[in-house]
Amino acid sequence: NHRQLMGEKLIGLTVNDMQNLENQLERSLHAVRIKKDQLLIEEIQELNQQGILIHQENMQLYKKVNLIRRENMELCKKVYASGSLNDVNKSSLPANHFSITEEMQVPIRLELSQPQKQTCNIAPESSKLGRLQLR
């Protein structure tokens, strides 16, 4: 019977036997397709769930980045307000900050810029140690 299902040893079968064999094959094929569809649906559902979890994690990371950026900007404002960095070139701090929102639909545009010059001062205390301090 297995060989007949594989299309072998069909000699001697009547038309009715072949019709029954064909019907059996169609039922088997239908069962295989249903099982395959079920497995694909389960896999799609699992991938969708993973996508939702990744999206949620991504949004949490965006929020953390924005919080850190805001905190950094507040610290920069406090430092400049205190006037303790009068000799520091204010343009040495990153001017091109970025903002990420929950519904980020705008493509990010990155550009190359020329390296900014750093001022290098030798502090009197550190000159005894032979070290340079970057300011």
Give the model's pLDDT for residue 109: 61
Give the model's pLDDT for residue 13: 85
Q: Is there a domain that residue 134 lies in?
A: no
Q: How many domains does the chain have?
A: 1
Residues 113-122: what's their mean pLDDT?
A: 54
Strand (E) positions, the chain?
A: 120-121, 133-134
Q: Is there a domain that residue 20 lies in?
A: yes
Q: Is there a domain that residue 5 lies in?
A: yes
**What is the overall mean pLDDT for the chain?**
75
Q: Is there a domain that residue 4 lies in?
A: yes
Q: Is there a domain that residue 71 lies in?
A: yes
Instruction: Answer left, alpha or beta for residue 60, where phi above 0 means left and psi between -120 and 50 means alpha.
Output: alpha
Q: If we measure between CA atoms, which residue out of 111, 98, 109 comes closest to residue 69?
A: 98
Q: Is there a domain that residue 22 lies in?
A: yes
Q: Is there a domain that residue 118 lies in?
A: no
pLDDT above 90: residue 96:
no
Top pLDDT among 80 and 49 is at 49
Q: pTM to 2 decimals?
A: 0.47
Taking only the tens place, the pLDDT of each residue in 16-70 is 988 998 999 999 999 999 999 999 999 999 999 999 999 999 999 999 999 999 9
Q: Is there a domain that residue 16 lies in?
A: yes
Strand 133-134 and strand 120-121: pairing? antiparallel
pLDDT above 90: residue 100:
no
Give the model's pLDDT for residue 62: 96
Top pLDDT among 107 and 19 is at 19
CB-CB contact of 108 with 98 (8 Å): yes
Residues 98-119: what's their mean pLDDT?
A: 55
Domain that holds residue 5: 1-86
Give the model's pLDDT for residue 125: 45
